[in-house]
Structure 1
């Protein structure tokens, strides 16, 4: 939704008319509500989304459906982009676990995007997959306030001492959100 809002904001800089104030106000209201609910449990957030956010989202979609603009204009592009996100936004309303905006995820991944050229040397699909897995583990550690280097060092040292025939059921205890630093 942050991208949707950004596109309407860019259109507002060009248009400076009432055409953009309605969707921007609705989007700002949506983000303000979501900010208030950020610390709530997923169940409570889902309940509030259904009761308070859903009417705003419906009004936003009605406005987009009724908007009559040139498709090549900035506002037309903003409306088209919003419409392309519609199924995902509608699905988002059913869940409380998922954030309304993916800005935090994108911000976390920015360092990897900037280092993209370094990853060109993975030399194989398996190497690229290993890089993706390692990046996911590192970002999950960061999200759980764990030092990735300490986590990887301790987990790999500890797991290397387990017998090969041990069942995989024990691996869950080593996931970053379950891991207890020794």
Structure 2
């Protein structure tokens, strides 16, 4: 059990069990399905298994901060791309941003990847073998050499 899971369960398990003790709790006694509160409760009740997943699996976060942080960077990049200077400059910038994002997603250090990429291209790497230059293949390539 992850250390924080016990404290989290102590605070949330009573709510969890009261929600599941009777079908439709607390929808029927408190809110009309047509009201905003009723609609929110219907939404929650239909998805309660997913909402409670963090109680059963200590590896699941209760919030989505990791996802939100991953989304924030592309949103900032879109805004910054307005200042690329030229259409082709913006496209090139987007290509590099995509490569760097792929590196991060695959656990590859972006600087090392780009350095190795440019060395391979300068040494005449064949276009037909482009898959070997992708970030997800970088770890395999560096461990093999």
Q: What's the TM-score, normalizing by structure 1?
A: 0.44
Question: Which consecutive unaligned segments of at least 5 residues does structure 2 have?
Answer: 1-34, 57-63
SS at structure 2 position matched to 1:177: helix
Match of 2:6 in 1: none
1:25 corresponds, among 32, 38, 45, to 45
Higher relative contact order (CA 8 A, sep 6+): 1
CA distance in 2, matches of 1:139, 1:20: 35
1:162 corresponds, among 101, 124, 132, to 124
Q: How does 1:72-83 map to 2 (within 5 A)?
A: none
Are residues 1:151 and 2:113 paired?
yes
Which of structures 1 and 2 has the bigger CA Rg? 2
Question: Which consecutive unaligned segments of at least 5 residues does structure 1 have?
Answer: 1-14, 37-101
SS at structure 1 position matched to 2:137: coil
* Matched residues, number: 102
1:172 corresponds, among 124, 128, 131, to 131
- CA deviation profile, 1:12-58 (whole Å, cap 9, x unmatched): xxx6743321112223434667xx9xxxxxxxxxxxxxxxxxxxxxx
Q: How much has 1:116 moved relative to structure 2?
A: 4.9
